[in-house]
Each structure stands twice: as C-alpha cells, then as structure tokens.
Amino acid sequence: MKTIWIIANWKSNKTVAEALDWVSVVGPELLPNEHVKVVVCPEFTSLEEVKKAVLVGNYHLMVGAQDLSPFDTGAYTGEEPAKLISQFASLVILGHSERRQNFNETDEMVKEKAEMARKYNLTPLVCIQSSKIPIPEETALVAYEPIFAIGTGNPDTPEDAGQAAGEIKQINGGLDVLYGGSVDAQNAEFFLQQDNLSGLLIGKASLDADEFLKIVKIAYSL
Ligand code: PGA
C-alpha cells in the first residue's frame, strides 16, 4: 500500500490563536495510520506554538515550514535558516509558484534551499508547475501544482494530474508526486484514486479545520 500525504499549506493567514484553534480541532481526530501522513505547514510566526501543541496533545500530525533561507545561520537579516526551522519542523515546502512569481525564486535557489533542508534533516517538498521544471537531486517528494489551478477554484482534472505525475516520475525516477491546486473535500477522492498520485497539497481548503478533516478522513478510508 502506498503512503498518502495530506499536507495543509496555510500560506500567510493565521494568527497564533487561530493556528492553535485549528490544531485543537484537527489533532484529536488524527489516527496512528502508517499509510496516511498528515502535515500542517503554518506561518513562521506560529511554528513553535503549533509544534508545542502537537507534542503536548501527542497528535499524529507532522509540522512543516513553507520556505527556508538558501543560506545557513549568520548575518542574513530577516531570513529563516534550515537549522532554526528544524527545531520545530520536519518538512519544508520549496519552490511554490507564489514564491517563484512574487519573490523571483529561481530553480537554482530551490536547489540551494533543498541542500540546506537536507543538511538539517528536513524533508524537502519541491513544488513544480510542470514536468519541465528541474527537481533538485535526491528529492523524494514533489508537488505538481499547475498555475491555473492554484487558488482559483479551477482544479486540474484528476486524470490530467495523474498523467503529469506519471511523466514526472518517469523523468526523475522513483519519487512520490502529490497534486495541489483547488483541492477540496468534494474533489480530493478523485485525485487520491490516481495510481501515480501519492497525496495532496492543500491551500485554501486547509484553512478550515472541518473541511481539512473531511479530506483526511477520505484518505483514511482508501
Ligand atoms: P489552493 O493552494 O489549494 O488554495 O489552490 C494550493 C497550494 O498553493 O499549495
């Protein structure tokens, strides 16, 4: 049975209080299911509190970050390096299209960030917008997120996403490919049924604890 990743990407939205509310609703519902890994990627400002809440509640919830610095610790004002993030997170989203578009993030930067992530034992989840985008060496986890589908309410079809995932696997060898882009509790099951897809990266629908839980429960039921 393949591992299914259900990953919440909160982007730049929640206060610490809102983050903790979400964890208090979602956390107790999560099961020790070895085939379904549930991850939440909070804002940097909430990472520590979310991690603490997960530890105190003993929840089956991994914590991830949404980005990290291409540099190590040092004189880099405003940056969050992998070493410091790894105090709270075990996974990191890299190369999201919003970073590539709004912050001029290049493939080279994504590669440097992936190296930093690995140096400090963070699993990089590299987002690519098509099968043509290069994936840093040794990446095991990729999210296929076509631009037209991100935050638009206009998801890719599960069949096309599955086909793109197949191409990505063929070009890059054995890695797990997730789909992201307007996933919600209505369409999640159809993406998860695709053989080549190993999970979902969820933005807007992950902000609502109940909606996110519905998606997690679909994954548990497969
Ligand atoms: P969305 O975002 O679910 O709001 O489309 C997905 C993502 O950007 O990872």
> From ligand 1's centre to the CA of 128, what distance in Å?
13
For the chain, strand residue ranges (E) read 4-9, 36-41, 62-65, 91-94, 123-128, 141-144, 176-180, 199-202
The residue among 67, 60, 1 whose CA lies nearest residue 31 is 60
Active site residue 145: yes
pLDDT digits (tens, 9 = 90+) for 54-75: 999 999 999 999 999 999 999 9
In this prediction, residue 209 carries a pLDDT of 98
Residue length of the chain: 222
174 pLDDT higher than 90: no
pLDDT digits (tens, 9 = 90+) for 81-93: 999 999 999 999 9
Query: Which residues form the pocket of ligand 1, taking CB atoms under 6 Å from any ligand atom?
Result: 9, 145, 150-151, 180-183, 201-205
Atom of ligand 1 nearest to the CA of 182: 5
Active site residue 35: no
